[in-house]
Every structure is written in C-alpha cells, then in structure tokens.
Amino acid sequence: MTAMPHEPLTEAEFLLEGFLALGTPEGFRAELIEGEIVVTPPPDGEHEDYIALIVEQVYGRSRARMQFSGNKGLTLKDVPDSPRDHVIPDGTFAPRELRLYRTADSWMPCDGVAMVLEVTSTRPQTDRETKRRCYARGGIPLYLLVDRDASCLTLFREPEGGDYQELHTVAFGKRLPLPEPFGFDLETADFL
C-alpha cells in the first residue's frame, strides 16, 4: 500500500503552523494579527500601572462580578486569505459566572468576553487600528483603549461589519462611562 501524498499547505496554513511553533523569549508576546506575526517586548511600569488602575475599579465598582486575565490569548474571526487571528489583549474581562479562563489552553475563543483592554506601547497603531478591527470581528462588545501618546481613553462599542460603530473618547482626568454589565464611570484622574 502506498502512502497518499499530503496536500500542500496554503500560505495561511503555513503561517499559522509557524506561528504556533514559535518560541518567544520570556516576557515577550507573539501574536498573529491579520496575517502578520507581531512580537512585542515586556511592558514598562506605566503600562502596567494603567491596567492595575482599571482592574481595581472594575473589581470594586462593576455591577456584575468580573474576572480578569492579562495572559489569555484570543482566537478571532478569519480575514479572507489569512490564518485565524491570535491576539493577546493587555486585559480581558468576562462575567465571573462564565469562568472562561478555566480552559487549559493558551488560546480561547472570544465568546462571552465582555471587554478587552489595550494600553498603547511600542506599536500604538496596532492597538488603535488593527487590534480594534480584530476585536470587532470577534464580536467583543467593548474595546477600551488607553492611548498614552494622546493622553486619552477611547471606548469602542457596537461591533459590526469588522469595526466598531460607536466610540467615546475622554482625556486623562475625565470620567469615562462604562455601560452594562459594568455600569459605572471609570475615573481617570490617577492617569495624569
């Protein structure tokens, strides 16, 4: 009996296999975003401080009990002729009762995620544009972007057609209303 030759991998399948086999140095993050492998260095202290300020408020003030992860990668909807996006947000919030983070896998679907959080760092355009489109394609209801260069926060809402249909931007120091299931105004005075 002769073995059947395997079908050759498409370019997207080849890229995905290479990405999943990629070993990155400790602290670095590797993501596959719209057909491009993106490796980012460990974050700085200010980056982590902004995340901590937001998490503290969500835990203390949100109307729904939330769980947070800064380590779980999300697999998102496909872009034509590209492998499935594999994105690691700076933060992911999900209702506690869903217990989404229990999965043993490094990558999880975005179903049930209430909000993702990004703080701009070495590649701010990726956070402002590319990741925004990824999260919208994934149907994640809320995307919160802390833009350090512009000293503002933007909340993107209503994902549809590969992008968010609504956005609300406030300067550092102003309050940003977070809709349900959060239901409180995010204080940003400590961002100044």
What is residue 25's predicted lDDT score, i.e. its pLDDT?
Answer: 77
Average pLDDT over the chain reads: 89
* Inter-residue contact 5 to 17 (CB < 8 Å): no
Q: Residue 6: inside a domain, yes or no?
A: no
**Residue tagged 């701010």 (tokens):** 124
Residue in 52, 51, 49, 66 with CA at minimum distance from that of residue 183: 66
Q: Residue 161: inside a domain, yes or no?
A: yes
Q: Which residues contact 110 (CB under 8 A, 6 or more apart)?
A: 74, 75, 76, 135, 138, 139, 140
What is residue 190's predicted lDDT score, i.e. its pLDDT?
Answer: 96
What is the tens place of the pLDDT at every residue in 21-39?
777 778 788 888 887 888 8
Sorting pLDDT into bands at 50, 70 and 90, what band is 1?
A: very low
Cα–Cα distance, 50 to 86 (Å, whole number): 24
20 lies in which domain range? 11-191
pTM of the model: 0.84
Cα–Cα distance, 124 to 86 (Å, whole number): 18
What is residue 2's predicted lDDT score, i.e. its pLDDT?
Answer: 47
Q: Residue 3: inside a domain, yes or no?
A: no
pLDDT at 57 over 50: yes
What is residue 121's predicted lDDT score, i.e. its pLDDT?
Answer: 87
* Inter-residue contact 179 to 171 (CB < 8 Å): no
CATH of residue 36's domain is 3.90.1570.10
Q: Residue 184: inside a domain, yes or no?
A: yes
Tokens of 158: 């209503």
Q: Residue 186: inside a domain, yes or no?
A: yes
Sorting pLDDT into bands at 50, 70 and 90, what band is 3?
A: very low
Domain count, the chain: 1
Q: Report strand pairing: 73-75 vs 107-109.
A: parallel
